[in-house]
């Protein structure tokens, strides 16, 4: 399975975005179109790493629990034949994860063959060994055609690095 670990703010919107969802900056159609192109050309699934994931529900039977932001996300994605596959978890078994650790945990727990991280912030990605698969966007412009091309190159060209996952498993005591 190929995964796009997706942040929203600074990726699917930017400083000049005019779209809104309530009091929040919404999602720009041109950025969503680029994301749809990445998915279409790579066959990748989308996993949310953004704070937008907080009230998003994977199960259709739990969608009634979503807030307006999560509903807005689903509706915007549906317009482009996109669907969120899943989201990362910020904690498990009493352990709290940084963003990078939550991505490593997701990779470990799922059959992820290849992945890309689309984010406008570096977070702890370097310390987690994720920078080779990071496509860092700029808050000023969000996802661009150049970012899209790089994401497709990563998803279609490189496999994950198992030695980094092994170190993560060893350090987190997951076997």
For residue range 109-138, list pLDDT tens digits in order: 998 999 999 999 999 999 999 999 999 999
Mean pLDDT score, 37-62: 96
| Residue 95: band (very low, low, confident or very high) from pLDDT cuts 50, 70, 90 | confident
Q: Is 41 exposed, middle or buried (0-12, 13-18, 19+ CB in 10 A)?
A: middle
Q: How confident is the model at residue 105 (pLDDT cuts 50, 70, 90)?
A: very high
CA nearest to 142, candidates 40, 37, 7 = 7
Q: What percent of the chain has pLDDT over 70?
A: 90
Which residue, 116, 25, 7, 13, is CA-closest to 69?
25
pLDDT of residue 171: 53
**How many separate domains does the chain show?**
1
Q: Which residues are paired to 138 by β-bridges?
A: 142
pLDDT band at 158 (very low <50, low <70, confident <90, very high): low
Kindly report, residue by residue over 13-28, the tens digit of the pLDDT: 999 999 998 888 999 9
Residue 161 pLDDT greater than 60, yes or no: no
pLDDT-derived band of residue 160, with 50, 70 and 90 as boundaries? Answer: very low
Contacts of 166 (CB under 8 A, 6+ apart): none
Q: How far is residue 28's CA from residue 11's CA, in Å, rounded to a whole number? A: 9
The residue range of the domain holding 164 is: 2-172
Using CA atoms, how far residue 147 sits from 17, 133, 156, in Å, is 18, 12, 14
CATH number of the domain at 164, please: 3.40.50
The count of other CB atoms within 10 Å of the CB of residue 103 is 28
Phi/psi at 110 (nearest 5 deg)?
-120, 165
pLDDT given at position 93:
84
Q: What is the 3-state secondary structure (H, E, C) of 109-121?
A: HCCCCEEEEEECC
Pairing of strands 24-25, 91-92: unpaired
């Amino acid at each position: 399975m190929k995964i796009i670990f997706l942040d929203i703010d600074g990726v699917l919107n930017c400083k000049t975005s005019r779209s809104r969802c309530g009091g929040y900056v919404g999602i720009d159609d041109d950025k969503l179109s680029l994301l749809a192109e990445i998915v279409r050309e790579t066959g990748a699934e989308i996993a949310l790493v953004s704070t937008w994931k907080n009230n998003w529900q994977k199960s259709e039977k739990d969608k009634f629990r979503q807030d307006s932001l999560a509903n807005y996300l689903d509706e915007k994605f549906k317009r482009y034949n996109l669907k969120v596959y899943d989201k990362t978890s910020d904690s498990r078994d009493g352990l709290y994860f940084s963003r990078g650790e939550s991505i490593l945990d997701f990779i470990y727990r799922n059959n992820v063959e290849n992945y890309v991280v689309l984010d406008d912030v570096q977070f702890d990605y370097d310390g987690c060994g994720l920078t080779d698969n990071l496509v860092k966007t700029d808050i000023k412009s969000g996802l661009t055609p150049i970012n899209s091309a790089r994401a497709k190159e990563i998803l279609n060209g490189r496999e994950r690095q198992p030695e980094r996952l092994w170190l993560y498993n060893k350090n987190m005591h997951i076997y």
